[in-house]
Structure 1
């Protein structure tokens, strides 16, 4: 049976986090500013309670889990195999996606070219450093604002690559 209402307590740190996150992400919703103002009112003590309601019935949220990995303006969605940069879809080959997803899900961890190769290629394939380097170069051209000064896929000289730790 579906509940009509749910009361959830929120402390000041959560309210501030939600407020800051909404300000930073600028969600594409006409209700975002109203929620921001409501959170501001809550933090300033002008109101003691916020009531949130869903437009329509909210059926499109049933069984939906956001599986995305987010870093700055980059979004990686493994279930749909979509990558967005600043809300615009980036077209990647299957291997480019696999490399990006592998690095992103292991954010901050440094991998050698061999480790990336072993994680992404299931079949035996002639592994050459230049193969991984070529994929990384093509990937950077597609996702990096400035491929010559990458923000997402970072080179760790003498070792390999890592995905940025920034949120």
Structure 2
């Protein structure tokens, strides 16, 4: 079975050695500059993680390093404000995206409707329980394989909602 990802820890000595070695080679890849820049950013503390992706025949690599959130078949990309499910883009309204992103970046944490409202709308809570519930319902219809048995946005009865920490 092919793994989706592999995480390898690298210390500063290895990063420096790899950087120095790559710098001396005459690499013919059009991506070598990006790799060197990524290693430089890693060594300077500009980034904490460097993600590498392989380009196959006929494929284009477009900014492999991103700040996406990945949970099962769901991908959330805050910079481009895109959500993909199984590789297919899901069209969300701005508030649906904001709610999903807020919950996902706080994976496993339970939030009341009031907390979600204040985080997403950035204003005082005005008894908008049904408003939040409606947004969650619409969001689930778009991202959940079975909205009646959600996998991603879970209801914590009597409290509120959370983004799953099981995937």
Is the pair's TM-score, using the shorter chain for normalization, greater than 0.5? yes
Moved more, 125-134 or 80-89: 125-134
Q: Please say if residues 118 and 124 of structure 2, whose CA atoms lie closer than 8 Å, have aligned partners that are also in contact.
A: no
**Matching residue of 1:57:** 30
Structure 1 ranges of 4+ moved more than 4 A: 59-64
**Matching residue of 1:100:** 100
Q: Unmatched 5+ residue regions in structure 1?
A: 1-19, 28-53
Where does 1:10-89 land on structure 2 (aligned, <5 Å)? Answer: 23-25=2-4, 56-58=29-31, 64=63, 65-89=65-89
Q: Please say if residues 72 and 166 of structure 1, whose CA atoms lie closer than 8 Å, have aligned partners that are also in contact.
A: no
Q: Does 1:110 align with 2:83?
A: no
For residues 4-61 of structure 1, the C-alpha deviation after alignment (integer angstroms, 9 at most, x for no partner) is: xxxxxxxxxxxxxxxx7xx243x8xxxxxxxxxxxxxxxxxxxxxxxxxx88311677
Partners of 2:148 and 2:3 lie apart in 1 by 26
Q: Unmatched 5+ residue regions in structure 2?
A: 6-26, 39-62
Partners of 1:100 and 1:162 lie apart in 2 by 10
Q: Please say if residues 108 and 163 of structure 1, whose CA atoms lie closer than 8 Å, have aligned partners that are also in contact.
A: yes
Residues 112 and 124 of structure 1: CA distance in aligned 2, closer, same or farther (over 3 Å): closer
